[in-house]
Amino acid sequence: MRNRDLWQPTRVVKIRGQFRPSSDRRMVDVSSRFIVALLCRFYDQAICRYARGKLLDLGCGHVPYYQMYAPLVSDSVCIDWPQSAHSSPHLDALADLNHSIPLPDNSFDTILLTDVLEHIAEPQILLREIARVMKPGGCLIAGVPFLYWLHETPNDYYRYTEFALRRLCERSGLTVVSLRAYGAAPEVLMDVIGKLLAAVPVFRLLARDYG
- pLDDT tens column, 3-39: 999 999 999 999 999 999 998 888 987 778 888 999 9
Average pLDDT for 172-185:
88
Q: Helices marked H in 24-93 — which ranges? A: 33-50, 66-69
CA nearest 146: which of 186, 114, 182?
182
Q: What is the pLDDT of residue 208?
A: 47
- Spell out the residues 6+ positions from residue 201 whose beta carbon is closer than 8 angstroms to its own: none
pLDDT, position 206: 46
Q: What is the pLDDT of residues 68-117, one digit of tens each?
A: 999 999 999 999 988 765 668 999 999 999 999 999 999 999 999 999 99
> Can you list the positions of beta strands (E) in 98-133?
108-114
CA 202/CA 67 separation, integer angstroms: 35
Task: Evaluate whether 58 touches 97 at the Cβ level (below 8 Å).
Answer: yes
- d(CA 5, CA 156) in angstroms, rounded, equals 33
Sign for the pseudo-dihedral over CA of 58, 29, 42, 70: positive
Contact 102, 95 (CB under 8 A): yes
As a whole number, mean pLDDT of residues 197-209 equals 55
State the DSSP string of 176-202. P-----S--HHHHHHHHHHHHHHTSHH
Q: How far is 52 from 69, CA to CA, in rounded Å? A: 8
CA pair distance 102, 69, nearest whole angstrom: 23
pLDDT in tens, 47-74: 999 999 999 999 999 999 999 999 999 9
Computed on alpha carbons and rounded to an integer, the radius of gyration of the chain in Å comes to 17
pLDDT of residue 207: 46
